[in-house]
Structure 1
Amino acid sequence: MVATSLHLLETFNLYPDLITFVPIIVPHIDGLPPGAETTSDVPVHLQPLIMTAMDRTKSDIELLLLNLKPDIVVFDFAYWLPKLARSLVSLSIKLHNHEAREFAALKAMKFGSNVIFYDRLCASLSQCDATGFRTCREIEGSYIDNLGSHFGKPVFLSGPIIPNPPTSTLEEKWIKWLGKFKARSIIYCALGSECTLKRYQFQELVLGFELSGWPFLAALKPPLGAGSIEEALPEGLEERVQGRGVVHGGWVQQLRIFEHPSIGCFITHCGLSSLFEGLMNQCQLVLFPHAGDQYFNARIMSNNLKVGVEIEKEEEDGLFTKESVCKAVRTVMEDDNEVGREVKANHAKLRDLLSSEYLESSYIDSFCQNLQDLVG
């Protein structure tokens, strides 16, 4: 908003809580009368100079866009704005040093038939006729476009493919245990069938649950080197959390547990299936990635979409503490936390979007049609 026009339009702002005018100082151009900032300030033959003056606000506009991070930019004669706005959209996802080292190792790691993992993946992507992914543009649109452009191949999206509600009922022991607690008060943690923590990771995680003060149910595998869950638990933990904390070493009915009103947050390893299951339910997301695409999934959810909070880890070695676990949990569980409120609101919007029958059917129909077109 041109600074001199600001006071004139403020009186017409019917939604001051929703619309904020930001002043822009238009630089003086030789040939313009003093104070001229809009086309209404000058005769027609001087209007091109107003355009030149507006073009010289480009650096100020760039700073505003960097700070405001708008979803939509509306413009008229500022021909340079589309290119500028696109340049500010980052297609990168920041990896911590320990994560980057994991990916660098894939360039040397042999993964069956004496073929390096990285070569196997690149050959698949470069030699195929098309690629397909279980995702949607609403979540990963800019990255999908970049991938298609990089490999010069069409990218087919199936959508999120949300599982149907289970027909089974929750085990009676879990119904009784979960039913002891008030709504949205329980931490539920499950890290998938392939994630096995180191002993110190396992212990810091459950100590973080204890430190939070909230009741918790954790479905975890015994850590590396431990024969059982009980053997690996921190000394005295069972006694201290008796009645409000359970670390279970077996399989649980995750979808049914999500449906229980007492579940408040879900600590996930950020595998895609678990993420979608968590997104479709009322529980808030605490992100705890461990390998591969889980890092990317976590950054998209926490930094781009802001629908979850990631547990903080050390940059170099990936170590985390019980305090960092507790901090992430409290962020999403406590009603008076500003970040938590933002995450809950964003999660609710995305859940409503993903729940749309039209969204799912349109992606599936498009995916099938793309495959038919591919084979002619």
Structure 2
Amino acid sequence: MGSKFHAFMYPIFGFGHMIPYLHLANKLAEKGHKVTFLVPTKAQKQLQPLNRFPSSILFETLTLPHVDGLPDGAETTSDLPDSSKELLSNAMDLLRDQIEAKVRALKPDLIFFDFVDSIPEMAKKLGVKCVSYQIVSAACIAMFLAPGAELGFPPPGYPSSKVALRGHDANLYSHFTSTRQILFDRVTKALMNCDIVAIRTCAEIEGKLCDFIERQCQRKVLLTGPMLPELQDRSSKQLEDRWNHWLNGFEPGSVVFCAFGTHCFLEKDQFQELCLGMELTGLPFLLAVMPPRGSSTIQEALPEGFEERVKGRGVVSREWVEQPLILSHPSVGCFVNHCGFGSMWESLLSDCRIVFVPLLADQVLTTRLLTEELEVSVKIQREDSGWFSKESLRDAVKSVMDKDSEIGKLVKRNHKKLKETLVSPGLLCGYADKFVEALENEVNNTNSS
């Protein structure tokens, strides 16, 4: 067994990053290691319930300094519009003196980080190893390291012309237009100057892309696997009686379940098009989404006459539902989702046909990987506006649900084969164990040299 170590964690202050970092911290603590987690003050309350080892994982709160344009009290990406997120990174850059003082005082062995690209220089000066831990897909990281790939023109050595932004999908990157290059530069600098690159993925899905990243960074890439705690205890939970009873009323494999996560807020016209598309499938469906922007309830935003037309076969709910338990119900046959990291894994580990509606850049690239490279899913066809029509949603769902569909047969066959690999005993949890072991060896080698 390797040396027990002390790790600092300093992710960008967004819950989509801090929560995966905390999942990793729990794994390190489970193996007997100590973690100091750097967080903004208000975020600690929300993260604390996810801390499974409070005696080993200690939160150190930081107060962001003033940066022109950053609203008073803003601490995380959820406090800011997309166009202002670079301001948060700028404020985090200014925390360097505070963090350096904490490193000198607490003497960690490792520092995990993602966007604050000054960490490698500081860590080297203080004799600490730094780990660039990226929680987005390897497809997204590979694109950062491959100039031109984001334009659909991958360079020599890039493993797939299919996993690149192009056409209407490239338009989804428009919210990054002003800060995209700065974001790329930050991540690229972090990857090229760190001691260890780590990515939350597995070789069975993104092996070729991980190999490309190794070549570009000229250092070993360590993989943690999905690092989702809910994958460990699926069998111990039961679906709510309400949903179980409703789903029991339909034929096996006939229900379409659609969910976009709790942080996705559609415009009202997009929300209505989504509802109408589900109606057009003619299939029973459960749509679990947040109310659209400008609406306080789901009901007030529904298309006129919609509830009456789908009564008995369609439900639209804003209630939080246990996705894995819904997906494991025998009546559910199709999962429509945004290809967020958790939903992507739940898709792959289910027996459902998969339809992806990516909403952000990393989701676009992961969708391309799973749809065009691995051929385990289909994706929605977008309109010139960048959104999709009710007809395109209907067509995508029917393409995987119709028994005589050739694409449906193909993705079902490929999905089944990939799932059998992923659920093989010890595979996914083995990634996390091997990752921790590699870190132990790294620290042990450093201490003995």
TM exceeding 0.5: yes
Rounded to whole Å, the distance in 1 between the matches of 2:416 and 2:380 is: 21
Tell me, yes or no, if structure 1 residue 312 matches structure 2 residue 378: no
Structure with bigger strand share is 2
Q: Identify if the C-alpha distance between structure 1 residues 204 and 103 changes in structure 2 by more than 3 Å, giving closer, same or farther.
A: closer
1:217-296 to 2 correspondences below 5 Å: 217-296=286-365
1:122 maps to a residue whose letter is T
Rounded to whole Å, the distance in 2 between the matches of 1:173 and 1:107 is: 44
Shift of residue 102 of structure 1? 4.9
Rounded to whole Å, the distance in 2 between the matches of 1:221 and 1:124 is: 35
Shift of residue 361 of structure 1? 4.4
SS of the equivalent of 1:274 reads: helix
Give RMSD over aligned pairs. 2.2
1:318-333 to 2 correspondences below 5 Å: 318-333=386-401
Q: Which runs of 5+ in 1 are unaligned?
A: 1-85
Shift of residue 208 of structure 1? 0.8
1:33-182 to 2 correspondences below 5 Å: 90=160, 93-103=163-173, 106=176, 108-109=178-179, 116-161=182-227, 163-164=231-232, 165-182=234-251
Q: 183, 198, 216: which one pairs with 2:267?
A: 198
Aligned residues of 1:208 and 1:322 also touching (Cα < 8 A): yes
Q: Identify if the C-alpha distance between structure 1 residues 104 and 151 changes in structure 2 by more than 3 Å, giving closer, same or farther.
A: farther
Runs of 4+ in 1 over 6 A off after TM superposition: none
Which moved further from structure 2: 356-365 or 245-254? Answer: 356-365
Instruction: Describe the superposition over 1:184-220 as per-residue Cα deviations: whole angstroms up to 9, x where unpaired.
Output: 0000011112111111211111111110100000100
Shift of residue 272 of structure 1? 1.3
Q: Identify if the C-alpha distance between structure 1 residues 193 and 153 changes in structure 2 by more than 3 Å, giving closer, same or farther.
A: farther
Aligned residues of 1:166 and 1:256 also touching (Cα < 8 A): no
Aligned residues of 1:289 and 1:298 also touching (Cα < 8 A): yes
Give the TM-score normalised by the residue count of structure 1: 0.71
Shift of residue 105 of structure 1? 5.6
Rounded to whole Å, the distance in 2 between the matches of 1:154 and 1:254 is: 35
Rounded to whole Å, the distance in 1 between the matches of 2:174 and 2:333 is: 37
Rounded to whole Å, the distance in 2 between the matches of 1:300 and 1:188 is: 22
Rounded to whole Å, the distance in 2 between the matches of 1:88 and 1:310 is: 23
Aligned residues of 2:172 and 2:359 also touching (Cα < 8 A): no
Aligned residues of 1:131 and 1:156 also touching (Cα < 8 A): yes
Aligned residues of 2:259 and 2:289 also touching (Cα < 8 A): yes
Shift of residue 145 of structure 1? 1.0
Shift of residue 89 of structure 1? 5.3
Structure number, greater radius of gyration: 1
Aligned residues of 1:107 and 1:119 also touching (Cα < 8 A): no
Q: Which runs of 5+ in 2 are unaligned?
A: 1-155
Q: Partner of 1:334 in structure 2? A: 402
Identity %, equivalent residues: 42
Aligned residues of 1:265 and 1:284 also touching (Cα < 8 A): yes
Which moved further from structure 2: 199-208 or 337-346? Answer: 199-208
Rounded to whole Å, the distance in 1 between the matches of 2:336 and 2:407 is: 17
Aligned residues of 1:189 and 1:218 also touching (Cα < 8 A): yes
Shift of residue 366 of structure 1? 2.5
Give the TM-score normalised by the residue count of structure 2: 0.60
Aligned residues of 1:132 and 1:155 also touching (Cα < 8 A): yes
Q: 203, 212, 216: which one pairs with 2:281?
A: 212
Q: Identify if the C-alpha distance between structure 1 residues 152 and 264 changes in structure 2 by more than 3 Å, giving closer, same or farther.
A: same
SS of the equivalent of 1:183 reads: coil
Q: 418, 435, 447: which one pairs with 1:350?
A: 418
Work out the number of aligned pairs and report it: 286
Which moved further from structure 2: 229-238 or 194-203? Answer: 194-203
Aligned residues of 2:199 and 2:222 also touching (Cα < 8 A): yes
Rounded to whole Å, the distance in 1 between the matches of 2:300 and 2:237 is: 32
Q: Identify if the C-alpha distance between structure 1 residues 130 and 168 changes in structure 2 by more than 3 Å, giving closer, same or farther.
A: same
Rounded to whole Å, the distance in 1 between the matches of 2:247 and 2:407 is: 27
Aligned residues of 1:106 and 1:116 also touching (Cα < 8 A): no
SS of the equivalent of 1:357 reads: coil
Shift of residue 161 of structure 1? 4.2
Rounded to whole Å, the distance in 2 between the matches of 1:172 and 1:304 is: 39
Q: Partner of 1:66 in structure 2? A: none
